[in-house]
Amino acid sequence: MADAFPNPLPVKWQSQLDNASGTGYRECFSSSCAMLAMYWGRIKDDDAYNRIRSMYGDSTNAEAQLRALRLLKLDAYFRTDGRPEDIEREIDAGRPVAVGWLHKGSSSNPFGGGHWTVIKGYNDTHWIHNDPNGEAMLASGGYTTSRNGAGVAYSRRNWNPRWMPGGTGGWMLTCSKPPLMLEGLAARPQRASGGAA
């Protein structure tokens, strides 16, 4: 494991349940992506992020999330073939990961429309999540009465099958700042073409 970055990473938690939109109960994806943007210093909180994301589509739409993150000058990518080693590689490189998984039903037979959280660290037996909905009951499904989902430890044994149901690849969204040179070029005003210098 690389030693350059702390594990877990210092990702600030956001609750979807207090979103100013009034529809936070269905905005786990947005609150999770907001945590990524906050980690990279691009946004203040999930309400500010939601205002940007809403310009591009619904909270459940991965393309809307990607466009919002890219507007914030982050390199953002979504994939549906993730493996545990991919998450570990991102954390080791200092990049938290948003993950989509099935939170209903037992861990041996999960179902539902899906839920998004942020993984910010790991060890041999657990993933460390920032869960915008609180603390999940991984074995049986659903949620506890606790609404504090900051830094909750979810066992690999019960979470991995929810992320990779039936052995499929897992849904994950990653982002990072572009290389310094490219970031500087993106921010530099462009000279009008066609005229003499």
What b/e readout covers 42-79, taking b as 16+ CB neighbours within 10 angstroms? bbebbbebbebbeeeeebbebebbbbbbeebebebebe
Total-model pTM: 0.89
The residues facing 77 across adjacent strands are: 174
Could you read off the pLDDT tens digit of each residue along the chain, which spans 197 residues? 445 899 999 999 999 999 999 999 999 999 999 999 999 999 999 999 999 999 999 999 999 999 999 999 999 999 999 999 999 999 999 999 999 999 999 999 999 989 999 999 999 999 999 999 999 999 999 999 999 999 999 999 999 999 999 999 999 999 999 987 455 544 444 443 333 32
Q: Report pLDDT for 4.
A: 87
In this structure, the dihedral spanned by the alpha carbons of residues 148, 151, 155 and 156, taken in order and rounded to 10 degrees, is: 130
Beta strands 152-155 and 126-130, pairing class: antiparallel
Q: Report pLDDT for 3.
A: 56
pLDDT, one tens digit per residue, over 26-41 is 999 999 999 999 999 9
pLDDT, one tens digit per residue, over 71-97 is 999 999 999 999 999 999 999 999 999
Q: Which domains does the chain have, with CATH numbers?
A: 16-185 (3.90.70.10)
Q: Report pLDDT for 188.
A: 46
How far is 24 from 80, CA to CA, in rounded Å?
Answer: 24
Cβ(82)–Cβ(88) below 8 Å: no
